[in-house]
Structures are given as C-alpha cells and as structure tokens.
Chain A
Amino acid sequence: MTETNTNSRIGEELLSVNNIDLSFGGVKALTDISFNINKGEIRSIIGPNGAGKSSMLNVINGFYQPQVGHVRFKGKDYTPMRPALAAKSGIARTFQNIALFKGMSTLDNIMTGRYLKMHSSFIEQALYIGRAKREELEHREKVEEIIDFLEIEAIRKTPVGRLPYGLQKRVELARALAMEPELLLLDEPMAGMNLEEKEDMSRYIIDVNEQFGTTIALIEHDMGVVMDLSDRVVVLDYGRKLADGSPDEVSSNQDVIDAYLGVSH
C-alpha cells in the first residue's frame, strides 16, 4: 500500500477484499470494493445508512457470498469465505443488532465463544470427566479474565435477555474476545449508547487493540470516535468506495464531505 506505517504497532497485510460485487436480486449492495486491513491496525468503515458497511463485514466473515471477488485472509484466498472457515481461521464479530444467546447467562454466552477451543468427547461430557471437566475449568479461567477486563463481574450469572442495551453490547464484545480472534469485526458497537458508555466502549476497543494486538475493523457513525480511534478509514457510499486513507485525508476529501458530511443527505 501507499501509506507508510510509522507506527510499529502495525504490521503487514492481514486481510484484503478484492473487487467485491454483491447484489440481492436487483439491488446492488456492493460494487467493485477493494481494500485491505493490516495486522494490528484499527480500520474503520464509514458511510451513510444503506451504504453497504454491514454487508461488507458479512462478506468478510462469509455470511454473504459475493457474486464477484474474493477475500484474502492470512495469505489464503477464499472464494467465497464461509462462516465456519472464518471462525476457524480467527475472525470474530459483533452485530449491529445484538445477536446474543438470550436465554443463557453472561458467563455461558462468553463460554460459548470458547466452543472451537474445546475438544472433549461426548462420553467425557456425559460423565463430566477427563478433558470435559478440565476444559470447563481452564476456559472458565480465561473467560474470567475477559469478564474482569470488560468490568462485567456483577452480571456474570444474569440471563443476558434481562440486561440493559449497553451491557448487552459489552457482553457481545466479550463473547467475540473469548474466541481470541486475530481480526475482530465490530458493527456499530456504540450505536444507541450515551456519552459515558461510548467512552467506555472506545477505551475497551483501544485496550483490546493495544494489549492483545487484535486487528479491528470498526463500523461507526460517530465521527469523533472514528477520528480518534482509527488508523485508516474506508468510506462507502451507495455500495461504492468513495475514499480510503488516514482520518485526516478522508475528512478533507471533497467527495466525502459532499456525500457523507455534507447536507445533501
């Protein structure tokens, strides 16, 4: 890429999407989208409602299969990516509309994030012996670290359906972190939050990125947050890529100002 990374936090390319075309029936959601995400960076995707941001994340983790183009992750091409492959190879995500397991406790939701890291057999589980027992305890320890990190100790045993919106968003982040992903896709993690909750969430995102070295793709509407957190920003509008670069470059781009920040919408 053309940018030079002065920041040692950021490594080489982790993921790229290449010439993605995605349509639903006659509706074109994405048209010829290409961009990449480097190891360790916080990469934001912005754009007006309906621009195709969520669809982009859905292509990256294999929920939507694009008609054209491919996803490249850790040097491997996927045409297309599949959800199971994405999970296995280290991509986790949260959803714009919270997708928690409503009937389960906070703890069980996060433990479920460890699913692929557990290998006990059916018999071991039925008798709760051997690996089944050992794994429950080991993973519980890891999950407790995440619970401490996100400061949700008090709601450990609460069924998530009963939690307020802001906390549900945090539990969903916790569940994604439990997968120990290399790439974390966050779809509007701060939507509907008050200022204080937004500040907390921003801090968690930065901490995840810095402490665990997790690469993050972030969809966010609050431009203040985007400018503060992001290393690079890609701008979508009507399914097309409008601009791509550092927060400063993007925010001074005339097309972006017209389309996104301008008054025309």
Chain B
Amino acid sequence: MFYREAGDFKTSYAADQSILSIKLDRYFVIGLIAFGVIVVPMIGNDYWLGSLLIPVLVLSIAALGLNILTGYAGQLSLGTGAFMATGAYMAYKVATNLAFLGAPVAIIIGGLSAAFAGVLFGLPSLRIKGFYLAVTTLAAQFFLLWLFTHVDWFVNYSISGVPSIPPMEFFGVLISGAEATTEARYLFVLGFAIILGLAARNLARCKMGRGWMAIRDMDIAAEIIGIDPLKAKLSAFAISSFYCGVAGALWAFCFINTVEPGAYDINRSFQILFMVIIGGLGSILGSFLGAAFIVLLPIFLNNAPQWIGLNLTSDVISHMEIMIFGALIVFFLIVEPHGLARLWQIAKEKLRRWPFPY
C-alpha cells in the first residue's frame, strides 16, 4: 500500500474540507511547488524551461480559465483566444505607456480588460445556451482579433503591427524583453500559475463555485435556491476571461516577446478547449494535465520513433499527431468526460488498494 487514506482519520470538518483532503496529496502539491521553484531552474536547461515548461504553464492558466467557464459553469466558449489577445494587447499598452506600473500590474490590467470583454460577450448567455452561445463567443473571437489587427492604437501605431515587448523588471530582475533569462521568465510565469491555480481551487469549492456548478447542472433548481443566474454566469465569464487575459499577456511577455494576432487565433481557442476536455472538465488538476499533455505530445511523437529506430518523415508525424488528438478527444468526450484528472484519481485508488485486487 503505497498510498493510504485509511488511518488518516479526519477529526474535524476543517480537516475534511482542506483543499486536498488527503495529507499525501497536500504534501505532493507542496513538494511539486517546491520542486518547480527550486529544483527545476537548477537542473532544467534552456530548452526545457523556455520551450516546454513556460508554454505549458501559460496555457495551463488559460485552460484553468476556460475550465471555470465551461467545466464549472457549463457555458461553452470558443472565444478563449480573443480573451487572451485582449489581455496581451492591453498589458502591452500599459507596459509601454504606463511603464512605471511594472510588469505584474500591466499583466493584471490586461486580465481585467479581458474580464470586461468576457462579461460583455457573456451577456447573451442569459438568454441563449449551448451551441448558440458558442456561436456568440465565436463572434467575439473574430471581432476582437479584427479590432486588434485593424486599430493601430493597440500596437502604438507600430509599422510592422507586431511590436516587441519592452524589457521590464520584477524586483530588479528582467522578466521580459530579449535580455531576460529563461530562469527568470520561468519563475515569473510559475508564480502566476501557482497563485491562480490555488485561487481557482478555492473559488471552486466555495459559495461561488457551487453557484456555477448549480447553474451548469440544473438552472431551475439553482434559481429556487436563490442563486442569481445572471450573477453566476457573468462572474464565471469575468473570472474565466481574467485568467485567459493573464495567460495571453504572459504568452506575449514571457514567451514570444511580441504581441501578434496569430498567437491568439481560433486555433488557440480550440487548443485550449481540447486541453480542458482531455485534462478533465471541472477539474483544476486536469487543466494543468491537459495543457502539459497537448504541448508535450507532439514533442514526444517527434522523438519517439527515433528512439525505437524508426525513421518517419515529419509529414507522417504531423498527420499522426492530428489523428491521435482526434481519437483522444472522441475517447474522452464519450468514455471519460472527467479526463486525465479522473484517470489519475482511479490510479490513486488502485495504488491505495495495492497489492489487493479490490
């Protein structure tokens, strides 16, 4: 029995309510955070930190955002890319025109702007549901991106339309711009991921989270309990879009070092949606797992054939990638809507009983 719940008796509701009720889980998370903060920057090379972990963490934040809206509150959105773009462009505006505010504030203002856009485009959710709402968010996707590409104000009238992010410091350390070290950018992104991850978990288990889930599962019953559908849906849109906005800004500041519309197109929206589906709808852990999976799978597919001595052309590999994603999404939608997070939970249960079969 590697993994024990029995013998770990909960003596109060306080203990039972704690974020992850099993002690091992809590140590696991604390250990993971410590590992991410201390060990990873020491052992990770530029490729691992800069090309794998930063995008995984940034997209995890976006996936958390979409999961709040779609997984918890049950409102389907295809506008994730647009809300990320809103965060990126507004953070860029603040970073260039109000530089004294600093990078974190610029990014948070980016998030708040995205939240505002989210509420605006979330208003129709009070009337329409499912497919039709998805179409509305699709309109947000195209409209907002059109705005950012065609209104020069958003890029400070830059000729190329793809301006670079200015170098910015956080506690005296550069975290954006060409000079910033990979370690600094990684740690900065990790800080956001940890704080936003814990906040999402807290919101999900409190009054607000139950309001979202109630609206998702049975809106008439939610209403007779006194849950205001307007408040529940719009708060989900606001918080979700805030997360997406912060992710979009971090993507620009700490990963690609520019603001460009191509990074936030409809493909991005679908990518985040697939992360949420594969990771697990309505799961915080799943948002991270889904993001890691989708970023890392293509890299694995690119390398795995060589490890076993196979030589596939990049054509074949990219086709394989699409087929595997397609199959996985169908699998998770039909067989396991709770995604990788649920598979992880099942694995834990098996470990707990090991070596007994049941």
Chain B residues with Cβ below 8 Å from A179 are: 225-226
One of A43-51, A93-101, A203-211, A217-225 contacting the partner: A93-101
Q: Is the CB of A112 within 8 A of B225?
A: yes
In whole angstroms, what is the CA distance A140 to B17 when docked?
Answer: 9
Are A125 and B202 CB-contacts (below 8 A) given A99-B221, A101-B221, A118-B207? yes
A contact residues, range:
35 or more
Instruction: Determine whether the beta carbon of A115 is less than 8 Å from that of B221.
Output: no
Number of CB contacts from chain A to chain B under 8 A: 98
Given contacts A102-B217, A128-B206, A132-B206, contact A115 B13 (CB under 8 A): no
In angstroms, Cα B224 to Cα A61, docked, is 8
B227 at the binding interface (Cβ < 8 Å): yes
> Is B213 interfacial (CB 8 A cutoff)?
yes
A86 is an interface residue with CB less than 8 A from chain B: yes
Q: Which of chain B's residues 208-254 have a Cβ closer than 8 Å to chain A?
A: 208, 210-211, 213-214, 216-218, 220-228
Closest A residue, CB atoms, query B338: A103
- On whether the beta carbons of A84 and B17 are closer than 8 Å, the reply is no
Per-residue interface assignment for chain B, residues 175 to 219, with 1 indicating a CB less than 8 Å from any chain A CB and 0 otherwise: 000000000000000000000000100110111101101101110
Closest CB-CB distance, A208 to chain B, in whole Å? 18
Smallest Cβ distance from B223 to chain A, in angstroms?
Answer: 5
B interface: dominant SS: helix
Interface residues of A (CB under 8 A from B): 61, 63, 83-84, 86-88, 92-93, 95, 99-104, 108, 111-113, 115-116, 118, 120, 122, 125-128, 132, 135-137, 140-141, 144, 175, 179
What are the residues of chain A within 8 A of B202 when measuring CB–CB?
125-128, 132
* B228 to A, closest residue via Cβ: A84
Tell whether, in the assembled complex, residue A100 and residue B221 are in contact, meaning their CB atoms are under 8 Å apart.
Answer: yes
Whether A84 and B203, one on each chain, are in contact in the complex, defined by CB atoms closer than 8 angstroms, is: no
Could you pull out 18 A-B pairs where Cβ atoms are within 8 angstroms? A83-B224, A87-B223, A87-B226, A93-B224, A95-B221, A99-B218, A101-B218, A102-B218, A104-B217, A108-B210, A111-B210, A112-B214, A112-B222, A115-B225, A120-B206, A126-B203, A128-B206, A141-B13
Contact A101 B206 (CB under 8 A): no
Point out the residues of chain B lying under 8 angstroms from A140, CB to CB. Answer: 13, 16-17
Does B199 contact A127, Cβ atoms closer than 8 Å? yes
Is residue B279 contacting chain A, with contact meaning CB distance below 8 A? no
Contact present for A99 and B220 (CB under 8 Å): yes
